[in-house]
Amino acid sequence: MLISARMGESESGGARILVVRCDCGFEVRGTGDEVVERMQDHARNVHNMTATREQVLDRATSA
């Protein structure tokens, strides 16, 4: 799995903002649903990989 792992959370108007970073330097930030969707797109389009929701969230860090 290319995506690096750190876990954390922050509050922004009640929304939990996460950051997920790929080894290639690509980074997404947003709510859980947003980072999962965008990182799954990135993994598929750039790395030909299938990433599950759990795999993305396991590797999220605080914004």
- Contact residues for other proteins (CB under 8 A)? 2, 23-26, 45-49
d(CA 24, CA 47): 10
d(CA 60, CA 55): 9
* Binding segment toward Zn ion, per CB under 5 A, in 12-20, 23-31, 33-41, 48-56: 23-31
Quick one: 27 or 62, whose CB is closer to other proteins?
A: 27
Phi, psi of 41 (to 5 degrees): -60, -45
* Binding segment toward Zn ion, per CB under 5 A, in 9-17, 19-27, 30-38, 50-58: 19-27
